[in-house]
């Protein structure tokens, strides 16, 4: 049985406000917080709410650090669909988090070396305090697709056809997502002291049920989170709809 706590809200906007205020509280309490960040459609309103909170309350990230979960292999940082660009546009550019401490995997050169360097950089900061996660319809977290080992470290991962299909709309017309990405491994994610998983919309209901109602299974990477002692799931009613039913 999962130890995860669930916070259920009527709408994605309400989820965004609650996640922003939770993260704001963490950073206010410990200004040197090491954040693990995620990208994707789910997080657009969350960064918007966090930027608004920072503007309205003076919440500062000046002493914080961040490590994003993943980045496509081979995309230039300023490519419109790179996760670096997403983070600059949605968050980094609007807050006072120092650029040298706002890191994503370096997916442009020697990818294997970049994976090791990323693990070392996280360790050198003392590990991740709070890791934000979305969830794929197939249960992926980061780019850890079904079948990934629960003790995996930062690595080069191959995207499944369903993830490529889900992310194609982020790319300019006629362009497909790269087939590979660097992602924190599930073991890296589980090392975070706290995990906040966010799921909104009916399309995530089945994945949430498989992750938290069924027994942990490598076919659903998010089910590894059942092993973690401090997980909070922030979701809307549509994503929560299947919970309580057998997966
Ligand atoms: C993004 C990431 C992915 C997304 C997931 C859900 O950094 O790691 O695991 O969280 O694919 O994406 P959306 O929110 O677009 O449905």
User: What pLDDT, on the 0 to 100 scale, is given for residue 9?
Assistant: 97
Residue 12 and residue 134: Cα distance in Å, rounded? 13
**Domain coverage including residue 224:** 5-234
- Reference 207, options 157, 108, 135; nearest CA is 135
For ligand 1, residues with CB inside 6 Å are: 38-42, 69-70, 134-136, 140-142
Let me know if residue 122 belongs to a domain.
Answer: yes
Grade residue 247 by pLDDT with cuts at 50, 70 and 90.
low
Q: How many whole angstroms from 70 Cα to the centroid of ligand 1?
A: 10
200-208 average pLDDT score: 97
Summarize pLDDT for 112-160 with one digit per residue, the tens.
Answer: 999 999 999 999 999 999 999 999 999 999 999 999 999 999 999 999 9
Residue 189 and residue 142 in contact, taking contact as beta carbons nearer than 8 Å: yes
- The answer to whether residue 1 scores a pLDDT higher than 80 is no
Residue 139 and residue 78: Cα distance in Å, rounded? 28
Let me know if residue 199 belongs to a domain.
Answer: yes
Ligand 1 atom nearest to CA at 134: 10
Summarize pLDDT for 62-115 with one digit per residue, the tens.
Answer: 999 999 999 999 999 999 999 999 999 999 999 999 999 999 999 888 999 999
**Residues recognised as catalytic:** 70, 138, 140, 145
Q: How many domains does the chain have?
A: 1
Quick one: 56 exposed, middle or buried, by C-beta within 10 A (0-12, 13-18, 19+)?
A: exposed
User: What pLDDT, on the 0 to 100 scale, is given for residue 107?
Assistant: 86
Let me know if residue 19 belongs to a domain.
Answer: yes
Summarize pLDDT for 159-191 with one digit per residue, the tens.
Answer: 999 999 999 999 999 999 999 999 999 999 999
Reported for 8-11, long-range contacts at CB under 8 A and 24+ positions apart, including other chains, are 8/235, 8/236, 8/237, 8/240, 9/234, 9/235, 9/236, 9/237, 10/236, 10/237, 11/236
Let me know if residue 245 belongs to a domain.
Answer: no
Q: How many whole angstroms from 42 Cα to the centroid of ligand 1?
A: 7
Residue 75 and residue 139: Cα distance in Å, rounded? 25
User: What pLDDT, on the 0 to 100 scale, is given for residue 92?
Assistant: 98
Let me know if residue 242 belongs to a domain.
Answer: no
User: What pLDDT, on the 0 to 100 scale, is given for residue 245?
Assistant: 66
User: What pLDDT, on the 0 to 100 scale, is given for residue 109?
Assistant: 86
Our mutation pick for probing the ligand 1 site, out of 40, 48, 167, 189, counting the most ligand atoms within 8 A of Cβ, is: 40
Residue 99 and residue 64 in contact, taking contact as beta carbons nearer than 8 Å: no
Residue 155 and residue 97: Cα distance in Å, rounded? 26
Residues with Cβ within 8 Å of 53's Cβ and at least 6 positions away in sequence, in order, are 20, 21, 24, 59
Residue 134 and residue 139: Cα distance in Å, rounded? 9
Let me know if residue 243 belongs to a domain.
Answer: no
Residue 148 and residue 163: Cα distance in Å, rounded? 14
Q: CATH no. for residue 193?
A: 3.40.50.1360
Residues with Cβ within 8 Å of 158's Cβ and at least 6 positions away in sequence, in order, are 145, 179, 180
Ligand 1 atom nearest to CA at 37: 7
Ligand 1 atom nearest to CA at 40: 15
Let me know if residue 140 belongs to a domain.
Answer: yes
Summarize pLDDT for 12-22 with one digit per residue, the tens.
Answer: 999 999 999 99
């Amino acid at each position: 049985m999962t130890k995860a706590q669930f916070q259920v809200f009527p709408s994605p906007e309400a989820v965004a406000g609650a996640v922003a205020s939770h993260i704001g509280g963490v950073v206010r309490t410990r200004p040197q917080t090491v954040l693990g960040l995620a990208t994707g459609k789910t997080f657009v309103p969350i960064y918007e709410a966090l930027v608004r909170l920072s503007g309205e309350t003076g919440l500062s990230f000046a002493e914080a650090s961040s490590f994003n979960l993943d980045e496509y292999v081979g995309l230039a940082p300023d490519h419109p669909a790179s996760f670096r660009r997403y983070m600059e546009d949605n968050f980094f550019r609007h807050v006072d988090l120092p650029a040298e401490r706002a890191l994503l995997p370096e997916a442009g050169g020697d990818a294997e070396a970049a994976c090791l360097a990323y693990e070392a950089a996280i360790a050198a900061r003392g590990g991740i305090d709070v890791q934000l996660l979305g969830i794929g319809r197939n249960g992926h977290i980061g780019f850890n697709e079904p079948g990934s080992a629960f003790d995996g470290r930062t690595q080069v991962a191959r995207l499944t056809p369903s993830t490529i299909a889900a992310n194609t709309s982020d790319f300019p017309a006629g362009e497909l997502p790269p087939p590979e990405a660097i992602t924190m491994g599930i073991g890296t994610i589980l090392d975070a002291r706290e995990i906040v998983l966010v799921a909104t919309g009916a399309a995530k209901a089945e994945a949430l049920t498989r992750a938290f109602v069924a027994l942990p299974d490598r076919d659903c990477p998010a089910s590894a989170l059942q092993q973690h002692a401090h997980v909070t799931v922030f979701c809307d009613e549509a994503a929560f709809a299947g919970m309580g039913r057998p997966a």
